[in-house]
Chains A and B, each alone.
Chain A
Amino acid sequence: MITGFPSPAQGYEDNRFDLNSFCIKHPAATFFMTIDTDRYNDMSIYRGDLIIIDRAKKLNAKSLVVYECDGEFVIGRLTGIKKEVHVTGAIINVIHTVKEI
């Protein structure tokens, strides 16, 4: 038998916020890479960051993308790419863990 008062919050419950669905719109086409260099600091992408790449996202000239250059993955704005390259996909999120000083 169930006794006691019902919770006053009943009916107001919400699903817990889900970071996955917030960050990822196309799960099948989303891949992760990590940053092992300081050369993108001016783009606010730092060593140790995790980047989320959506290969399904429509690109425009200003899109920040990962592309293949001389057999390596590199990062750049689509406008800045001067030669024909394979674009892997758009960077949709950069996850930067704040380090304790």
Chain B
Amino acid sequence: MILHCDSNSFYASCEQIFRPDLRGKPVAVLSNNDGIIIALTKEAKALGIKRGDPFFKVRHICESNNITVFSSNYTLYADISRRITSIYMEYAPDIEEYSIDESFLFFNRCNFSVQDWYEIGHDLKQRIYKEIGMPICVGAAPTKTLAKLYNKKAKEHDGVFVYEPSKVDALLAQTDCGTIWGIGPARARTLLSHGIKNALQLKDMPLFDAKKLLTIQGFATVQELNGISCIDKVIREKKDVITSSRQFSKKVYDMKTLECALVQYAELAVERLRSQKSECGAVSIYISTCNYYADNPDEQYSNGAIIDLERMTSYTPDIVMAAKAALPHIFRAGYGYKTIMVTLMKLLPETFQGDLFINPYEDLRHRNFMNTLDGISKKYGRGTLTLAKGYEQRGWEMKREFLSPCWTTRYGDFPKIH
């Protein structure tokens, strides 16, 4: 059996945990740069705003209806997600974190009755709500595709919904193909043109046709609907590249400001590099005006460069210097840049195997310095100590006008009792 657990409007619910005044109130969360609405509570939905609405278009609705709006606070969401995952791990021998707010819990070789699964589901749901404050829904079924479908229907079943072989066909008959995991609107249209309207017809489709019409992925989906597990747990390996990029809040025209952004993003990338205990052999940078809505294509420019490092390293100054040196080669004056991306490549696990041409004491000193730096970031928050260059020019940083405190991870941000 596989349990699929999904938090209800995860980002918005995270924002509510430490704001008792917002319990049962309309809340919306915005994407990076406060661009579009990415999460909202049911109270906010009822007021007519939707996921994907650009914030500037619905700002007046939010203001006139007292919808509390937040910029996304990924520090908070990641911490809540980590806590939820650790509770899932107490239940299941094997879990897959599918995304920040969804997990699959695998119970192989467990022969529980439907009643037992309902009990486990409700217990899990109640625990997560009591111990973390997060409302979740649980779907239980023999395959990942079915578990996801049962989760989707769980809201109508008190938050927990369990697969029963005798009832599954009736459920599939009322389900559109487009809502099945892995099908989507385009494939649903293809299926419709072949007379397949609901998920039951999809389930009963000959496998040969499924493969022809929907490729191997559709073949797996049909198998999964028949209760045959084919979509394996996705195991995320250590990443073989690390990317750090974000859009600026406004256009940047001068190289000096761009350089500051470059330094900060490179620092962030190298910090992630060290946290996965790797070193990199090359760094690439990419700058772009990146304006998809541009009226004038002549105003567009983007360029990138790859810099091979002299040796494998995870020492921030070395990597930042290399990235900085390449910037003048790709920078063209006169464009309004909107984004910069730093990618670390050729990653290998860190080793202490020195190079003949470097001083081992110097190398050790560098490593100790980076350890101290990471320790300070961990304790006092990211960006407490940074390279001075990153602070010379401001104004390009991500727009986060409505950012909530990091309630759970930063001493100064802990909730206060008045």
Given contacts A71-B20, A72-B21, contact A29 B132 (CB under 8 A): yes
Which B residues are in CB contact (< 8 Å) with A68?
A: 20, 23
- Interface size of A in residues (CB-CB distance below 8 Å): 25
A22 to chain B, nearest CB (A): 19
Q: Chain B: interface residue count, which band?
A: 20 to 34
Interface centre among A28, A31, A35, A88, by most chain B C-beta atoms within 10 angstroms, is A28
Which A residues are in CB contact (< 8 Å) with B414?
A: 32-34, 50
Complex partner residue of A73 from B132, B133, B415, CB under 8 angstroms: B415
Known: A28-B87, A33-B417, A36-B418. 13 other contacts (CB 8 A): A28-B131, A28-B132, A29-B83, A29-B132, A31-B407, A31-B415, A32-B408, A35-B416, A37-B417, A40-B417, A55-B133, A56-B130, A68-B23
Determine if B87 and A36 form an interchain contact, defined as CB atoms under 8 angstroms apart: no
A27 to B84, CA, bound (A): 11
A-B interface, 7 closest residue pairs, ranked by CB to CB distance from nearest: A71-B21, A29-B131, A68-B20, A28-B83, A36-B416, A28-B86, A55-B131
In this complex, what residue of A is CB-closest to B82?
A28
Which A residues are in CB contact (< 8 Å) with B130?
A: 55-56
A41 to B288, CA, bound (A): 58
A10 to chain B, nearest CB (A): 26
Determine if B408 and A72 form an interchain contact, defined as CB atoms under 8 angstroms apart: no
In this complex, what residue of B is CB-closest to A51?
B417
A75 proximal to B (CB < 8 A) = yes
In this complex, what residue of B is CB-closest to A71?
B21
A64 proximal to B (CB < 8 A) = no
B223 to chain A, nearest CB (A): 36
Of residues 69 to 101 in A, which have CB atoms within 8 Å of B's CB atoms? 71-75, 86, 88
**Residues of chain B whose beta carbon lies under 8 Å from any beta carbon of chain A:** 20-23, 83-84, 86-87, 127, 130-133, 407-408, 411, 414-418
Which B residues are in CB contact (< 8 Å) with A31?
A: 407-408, 415
A57 to B143, CA, bound (A): 35
B278 to chain A, nearest CB (A): 27
**Residues of chain A whose beta carbon lies under 8 Å from any beta carbon of chain B:** 26-29, 31-37, 40, 50-51, 55-56, 66, 68, 71-75, 86, 88
In this complex, what residue of B is CB-closest to A72?
B20
Query: Can you report 17 A-B residue pairs in the complex whose CB atoms are below 8 A from each other?
Result: A26-B131, A28-B83, A28-B86, A28-B87, A28-B131, A31-B407, A31-B415, A33-B415, A33-B417, A34-B414, A35-B417, A36-B418, A55-B133, A68-B23, A71-B20, A72-B20, A86-B20
A73 to B22, CA, bound (A): 12
B144 to chain A, nearest CB (A): 25
Given contacts A34-B417, A74-B417, contact A55 B132 (CB under 8 A): yes
Determine if A33 and B23 form an interchain contact, defined as CB atoms under 8 angstroms apart: no
Which A residues are in CB contact (< 8 Å) with B415?
A: 31, 33-34, 73
Which B residues are in CB contact (< 8 Å) with A86?
A: 20, 23
A86 to B135, CA, bound (A): 14
A45 to chain B, nearest CB (A): 9
B26 to chain A, nearest CB (A): 15
Which A residues are in CB contact (< 8 Å) with B417?
A: 33-37, 40, 51, 66, 73-75
Given contacts A28-B86, A33-B415, A33-B417, contact A73 B20 (CB under 8 A): yes
In this complex, what residue of B is CB-closest to A32?
B414
Which B residues are in CB contact (< 8 Å) with A27?
A: 86
In this complex, what residue of B is CB-closest to A87?
B130
A20 to B22, CA, bound (A): 31
A31 to chain B, nearest CB (A): 6
Determine if A34 and B416 form an interchain contact, defined as CB atoms under 8 angstroms apart: yes
Interface centre among B22, B132, B414, B415, by most chain A C-beta atoms within 10 angstroms, is B415
Which B residues are in CB contact (< 8 Å) with A28?
A: 83-84, 86-87, 131-132
